[in-house]
Amino acid sequence: MLAINFLGLLGIAQASSLSIPFEKYELENGLDVILSEDHSVPFVQVNIWYNVGAKDENEGKTGFAHLFEHLMFQGSEHHDTEYFAPLQPIGARVNGTTNMDRTNYFEGVPSEYLPLALWLESDRMGWLLPALTEDKLSNQKLVVRNERRQSYEIRPYGEVWPWLYENLYPSDHPYHVPTIGKHEDIENASMEDVVDFFKTWYVPNNASLVICGDFDPETAKSLVEQYFGEIKRGPDPSPRVEASATLEDEKIVRKTDKVPHSKVWIAWLSPKLYGQGDADLDILSTLLSDGKESLLYSKLVDELQIAKDIRAYQSSSRLQSQYIIEATAAKGHTTDGLVTAIDEALASFKQTSSEDEALLNQISIAKDNWEARFYSGLQSIARKANQLNSYNILVGDPGYIEQDLQRYMDVTAQTLLQTTQTVLDPNRRVVLHVTPEPEENDASSTPESE
């Protein structure tokens, strides 16, 4: 592994304080408000998280959290037109995202347009329903279903995550179905369903608002009270915070699809975000596949030349996580051969002594790299705003960044090897092989990578 001092390249002193200055308070209606000044550039970021994601949907209602993200851009009572209309002329960066665990919306605007951004966000939080029509709902249902087709069904390897989720998690687990949802559930979504979802989850006492950047705090507080203060508190919702799954054996899944190369995904259930072992697995990923000298890349791509590429990563989530190793077979080689080579490399790595100097050096370098990521995130007001909201919603403390970094600094060779041994069990995992469909009129044709 290449030993580079990334902190030095960033011009950051390793001993400098890692923190995001902020002030947090709560409106009477329960809305969390977090203010963080940064006058380095004349821009301000408005970022709002709602504590609801796909994990909080009920059976038969999959895709609702993501569908609702779309509806939030279709106009509200006092701005019943496209949400982007007044923001595009001022060069604003605007979007929303939904995942399993939360939904967020953000606007990056020149400082003088902070009132506009706050007003727009408040109007759709408090007054979306009066402007919601059957035509808008029908239109967005079609948009979302088309997004599912384009992003999953006709996109090469697009169905991989749905296939992994359905095999990693049982049907009653909140992560069994991906965020996009099922076609039939989206198609069957009624106005009554959507109204109930909004009244349950899109209430100020289930949201966190961050203002980060170039603004005056007293002015911002006045604007927040003016625009959000009159929105009524809703019933306290109950986001899902506990759910677990286990794999009792190895599941081997084989799929053919319209893809250019054969690929394999090896997936394990792993510790949840911020759970014990979560940071160890991030460090492990650096050792396994970050750079040409990493363990799996050097072995499968350079030495054996059986893989075109390989990647290992911890996909951390709030209830439970997934550890993934994915690789593309080189021409003339099979995905089964990749799995064998990966297993042999992992088995050898697990036997490494916790006092091995090479391993200790690699872990030290990986820690430096992760520390650099934390510091580089402080250079962007957009990233700082989102990080403050993430910590506030997920751990209840916007200032959690130092404790978060400490998780990585606390990783040792012993904890890393123990986590690897426990999580990466070859007898408790899902192995997904995806190979190209046979060419038309040639049922005997062999995929390029096979």
**Number of continuous H segments (helices) and E segments (strands) in the chain:** 15, 11
Report the pLDDT averaged over residues 262-283.
99
Residue 146: which domain range? 21-228
Q: In terms of domains, do 288 and 362 share one?
A: yes
pLDDT for residue 10 = 47
Counted residue by residue, the chain has a size of 450
In sequence order, what are the residues at sequence separation of 6 or more whose Cβ sits closer than 8 angstroms to the Cβ of residue 448?
260, 261, 262, 331, 436
Residue 49's CATH number: 3.30.830.10
Q: From CA 66, how far away is CA 105, in angstroms rounded?
A: 12
Q: Confidence class of residue 2 from pLDDT cuts 50, 70 and 90? A: very low
Q: Confidence class of residue 448 from pLDDT cuts 50, 70 and 90? A: very low
Q: Are 211 and 37 in contact (CB under 8 A)?
A: no
pLDDT for residue 118 = 99
Residue 81 lies in a domain: yes
Q: In terms of domains, do 279 and 184 share one?
A: no
Q: From CA 133, how far away is CA 139, in angstroms rounded?
A: 10
Q: In terms of domains, do 274 and 193 share one?
A: no
Residue 357 lies in a domain: yes
Higher pLDDT, residue 28 or 17? 28
Q: In terms of domains, do 146 and 204 share one?
A: yes
Buried b (16+ CB within 10 A) or exposed e, 403-413: ebbebbeebeb
pLDDT for residue 439 = 76
In three state form, how does the secondary structure of 176-226 look? CCCCCCCHHHHHCCCHHHHHHHHHHHCCHHHEEEEEEECCCHHHHHHHHHH
pLDDT for residue 358 = 97
User: What is the average pLDDT value for the chain, to the nearest integer?
Assistant: 94
Question: pLDDT per residue over 288-297, tens digit each?
Answer: 999 999 999 9
For residue 239 the two structure tokens come to 């986001």
Domain tally for the chain?
Answer: 2
Q: In terms of domains, do 224 and 270 share one?
A: no
pLDDT for residue 449 = 31
Residue 303 lies in a domain: yes
Give yes or no for residue 177 having a pLDDT over 50: yes
By DSSP bridging, strand 207-213 and strand 32-37 are: parallel
pTM of the model: 0.92
Q: Confidence class of residue 438 from pLDDT cuts 50, 70 and 90? A: confident
Q: Are 65 and 179 in contact (CB under 8 A)?
A: yes
Q: Confidence class of residue 256 from pLDDT cuts 50, 70 and 90? A: very high
Q: From CA 121, how far away is CA 202, in angstroms rounded?
A: 12
Question: pLDDT per residue over 71-111, tens digit each?
Answer: 999 999 999 999 999 999 999 999 999 999 999 999 999 99
Q: Give CA angle at 174 (173, 180), nearest 5°.
A: 130
Q: Is 273 exposed, middle or buried (0-12, 13-18, 19+ CB in 10 A)?
A: middle
Q: Confidence class of residue 144 from pLDDT cuts 50, 70 and 90? A: very high
pLDDT for residue 217 = 99
Cite the beta strand spans of 205-339 per DSSP E.
207-213, 250-257, 263-270, 307-315, 321-329
Q: In terms of domains, do 283 and 405 share one?
A: yes
Percent of the chain with pLDDT over 90: 93
Q: From CA 386, how far away is CA 212, in angstroms rounded?
A: 9
pLDDT for residue 440 = 66
Q: Which amino acid is at 255?
A: K
Give yes or no for residue 150 having a pLDDT over 80: yes
For residue 144 the two structure tokens come to 């979302």
